């Protein structure tokens, strides 16, 4: 049978575009279906605009710290509209770059919503197209929790479209998205209250890392209400009122400026895809795939957040390229999910790779040895600030292999990226010890811990 495309990708996010371009390099005829702007969550509503806002939020501290180095005090104020406009202009520029890359790769873009008619046929509006292979790369979307009055809250997707800076905001959720935006908005001058159901933020990360960041956020002026059992939101003339009830039954109401941010997680965007017309299986809304990103329908694949494995942009890109190499390039390979590094762009910043201490102890028991260092980096000595850096190595004492590395502090993401290479290669603590440190730097602490 003759098809319109060798590969049709539903979703022009990082994973979908990476797959499309790599498949096209191998000579495949490729189409991409997208109803929104190119680049997906990362470029339009995630990594890129968020990181630009992270940069913006850190200037007030830098202005203050400069005084300790002899610079005269700086009086400066934020023009929110100018910042948001600049951020969104950069997003638009990146959209254009993605368009150029797809055009150069001779990948056709089909504008609209894609929906399965059958295993080989996709409806895009009134048009139907066929493909030998179809990739689902639709990403995810923010969850709106079942909370009374949740209609008065925005999500992380909406934060980049606020015309005015909120003076007060309540953030619901203690994951990395909620914690990052708490720090960003606090740094920009907003009064922030973060509401979490557990005892600590950042569930799933190393406990020392969680405690260090939460303590620092409190010192920076973010109010964290933890162990919250009930949340209700209502809107009146004063703004948005968020009422919370703790474990002991005590209630408190926090008032925000007509906006509350719900950041309690994301889920795969697999609804309304017409998957019932295929053999594709779902688990909790996520597409079930094998090690080759193949679904239960042998010609349909899925990568990225819609599979709910590790929801990171570089993971989706690697999954997509591995798929294209295997299916169209004759180079069979799979994505490895071991030792994937990640960063949390809170203030202070954090980054991690490998096993947490709890994971390591569950797997290796008493063989686990922890190396930990907590110190004030040289940068903060002249400003006289008590900002702490935490570094931690998790080691299997029987094999001497480094199982995990965790850091909280300035430039954590940049430092852990290099450490991740060593851990991915199976480095031992002896290898770390034998490496000469760069002095003076915070990074040298990873090779001098005893």
Catalytic annotation, residues: 439
Q: Are 45 and 73 in contact (CB under 8 A)?
A: no
- CA 428/CA 371 separation, integer angstroms: 13
Q: Are strands 191-195 and 168-172 parallel, antiparallel or unpaired?
A: parallel
By the 8 A CB rule, do 352 and 407 touch? yes
Q: How far is the C-alpha of 5 from the C-alpha of 7, rounded, in Å?
A: 5
Cα–Cα separations (whole angstroms), residue 430 to 113, 315, 394, 417: 54, 30, 13, 20
Residue 54: how many CA atoms within 13 Å on its side-chain side? 19
CB atoms within 10 A of CB 266: 21
């Amino acid at each position: 049978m003759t098809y319109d495309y060798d590969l049709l990708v539903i979703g022009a996010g990082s994973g979908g575009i990476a797959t499309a371009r790599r498949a096209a390099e191998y000579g495949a005829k490729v189409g991409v279906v997208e109803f929104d702007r190119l680049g997906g969550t990362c470029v339009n509503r995630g990594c890129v605009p968020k990181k630009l806002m992270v940069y913006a939020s850190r200037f007030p501290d830098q202005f203050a710290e400069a005084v300790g180095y002899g610079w005269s005090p700086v009086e400066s104020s934020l023009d929110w509209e100018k910042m948001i406009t600049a951020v969104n202009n950069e997003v638009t520029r990146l959209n254009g770059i993605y368009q150029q890359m797809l055009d150069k790769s001779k990948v056709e873009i089909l504008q609209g919503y894609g929906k399965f008619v059958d295993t080989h046929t996709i409806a895009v509006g009134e048009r139907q197209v066929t493909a030998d292979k179809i990739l689902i790369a639709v990403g995810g979307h923010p969850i709106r929790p079942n909370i009374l009055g949740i209609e008065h809250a925005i999500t992380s997707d909406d934060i980049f479209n606020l015309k005015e800076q909120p003076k007060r905001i309540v953030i619901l959720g203690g994951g990395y998205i909620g914690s990052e935006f708490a720090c960003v908005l606090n740094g920009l001058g907003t009064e922030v209250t973060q509401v979490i159901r557990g005892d600590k933020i950042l569930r799933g990360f190393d406990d020392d890392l969680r405690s260090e960041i939460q303590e620092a956020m409190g010192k920076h002026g973010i109010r964290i209400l933890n162990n919250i059992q009930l949340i209700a939101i209502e809107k009146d003339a004063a703004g948005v009122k968020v009422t919370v009830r703790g474990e002991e039954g005590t209630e408190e109401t926090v008032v925000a400026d007509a906006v509350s941010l719900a950041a309690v997680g994301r889920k795969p965007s697999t609804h309304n895809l017409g998957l019932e017309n295929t053999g594709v299986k779902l688990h909790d809304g996520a597409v079930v795939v094998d090690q080759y990103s193949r679904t239960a329908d042998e010609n349909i694949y899925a990568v990225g957040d819609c599979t709910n494995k590790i929801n990171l942009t570089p993971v989706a890109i690697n999954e997509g390229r591995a798929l294209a190499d295997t299916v169209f390039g004759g180079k069979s390979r799979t994505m490895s999910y071991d030792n994937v590094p990640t960063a949390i762009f809170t203030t202070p910043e954090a980054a991690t790779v490998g096993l947490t201490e709890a994971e390591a102890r569950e797997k290796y028991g008493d063989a686990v040895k922890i190396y930990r260092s907590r110190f004030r980096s040289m940068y903060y000595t002249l400003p006289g600030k008590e900002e702490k850096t935490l570094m931690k190595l998790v080691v299997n004492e029987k094999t001497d292999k480094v199982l995990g590395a965790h850091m909280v502090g300035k430039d954590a993401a940049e430092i852990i990226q290099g450490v991740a290479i060593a851990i991915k290669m199976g480095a031992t603590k002896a290898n770390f010890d034998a490496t000469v440190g760069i002095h003076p730097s915070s990074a040298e602490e990873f090779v001098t811990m005893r």
